[in-house]
Amino acid sequence: MFAIEVDNLRKEFVRKEKRGRGLPKRRRRVAAIKGVTFAIERGECVAILGQNGSGKSTLVRLLSTLLLHDGGGARIFGHDVFREQRAVQRLVNRVSVEASFFKKMSAAENLGYAARFYGMTPRMTRDRIPEILTRVGFPAERRNEAMEHLSRGMQQKVALARALLTSPVVLLLDEPTTGLDPRSKQEVQRFIREMRTTHDSTILLCTHDMAEAEILADRVGILDRGELLFLEPVDDVKDRYGVDTLEEAFFAATGRTFEDETEEDKEREVFA
């Protein structure tokens, strides 16, 4: 059985557009995920690279039951993501830049809440919460401060601590190191490696950072305007395009450099 299995998955969004004064807004359906198929083995770490708007966060939100799909399917350890949401939620933990917290509550309180959601008792987590916050490099003196007073990097560490606390079987990491200073970034990367070795977690990592993908992942894929171009070991990607770096592979695969803006909707429009 695969840890994550995605089969011809599709997601579209409706976008309303202004057309000028007096005219009614036009509604367009824009495909964010266009028939994506892949499978990830238990214990594997897979990185998905893609430009802004390529569909990375949409994929992660679909797999964590936060969005409904428009076609195809997805399974987490055999559980249908769209029919067995509760079972999937217990297996999956998402870490994203837009992590949701109770903003008036502290890091420690937020972790305590999450622990109870996953069926852990306060006794089980009393020592574990401070220990885990320390491990992700969260300063001890700020544990009881309201989340809304923390910087984004700090909040990101709490999001990682929350993922670690519940020992998720599947970790969905949506740009876990974006916005972190170099040292925190390294700490987080070390931590991701540790999750694999000590917890046997399966990891799907979405990132803008090619070096990060290369050092952490067994296989890398490029999501290009909602389409997964490939998903294979870095060396195979380089061989496939006869290049030395992932940047060059990206260029060879898409005809664009990784930093270019995507010409967003032109090729995505499915219906006007």
Ligand X SMILES: Nc1ncnc2c1ncn2[C@@H]1O[C@H](COP(=O)(O)OP(=O)(O)OP(=O)(O)O)[C@@H](O)[C@H]1O
Residues of this chain, 94-113, that bind Mg ion according to CB under 5 A = none
List residues near ligand X by CB under 6 A. 13, 15, 30, 32, 50, 52-58, 264
Closest approach of ligand X to the CB of residue 17, in Å: 11
Which of Mg ion, ligand X, none does 221 bind, CB closer than 5 to 8 A by kind? Answer: none
C-beta of 56 vs 268, nearer to Mg ion:
56
Smallest CA-to-CA distance from 112 within 95, 91, 127 is with 127
Torsion angle (degrees, nearest 10) of CA 72, 267, 255, 73:
-10
Is the separation of the CB atoms in 87 and 79 below 8 Å? yes
Closest approach of Mg ion to the CB of residue 113, in Å: 25
> Which CA distances in Å does 103 have to 119, 141, 148, 178, 190?
22, 18, 5, 20, 27
Q: Both tokens of residue 40?
A: 């990830």
Looking at the DSSP assignment, which residues form a beta bridge with residue 48?
Answer: 206, 221
C-beta of 145 vs 264, nearer to ligand X:
264
Residue 64 near Mg ion by CB under 5 A: no
Which of ligand X, Mg ion, none does 54 bind, CB closer than 5 to 8 A by kind? Answer: ligand X
Which of ligand X, Mg ion, none does 94 bind, CB closer than 5 to 8 A by kind? Answer: none
Which of Mg ion, ligand X, none does 197 bind, CB closer than 5 to 8 A by kind? Answer: none
**Which of 54, 57, 110, 125: binder of Mg ion (CB under 5 A)?**
57
CA-CA-CA-CA torsion sign (199, 203, 209, 211) = positive
C-beta of 141 vs 261, nearer to ligand X:
261
Closest approach of ligand X to the CB of residue 50, in Å: 5
Residue 189 near Mg ion by CB under 5 A: no
What percent of the chain is helix, strand and coil (3-state, nearest 5)? 35, 30, 35
Torsion angle (degrees, nearest 10) of CA 178, 179, 182, 186:
-40
Residue 254 near Mg ion by CB under 5 A: no
Closest approach of ligand X to the CB of residue 68, in Å: 11
Residues that bind Mg ion (CB under 5 A): 56-57
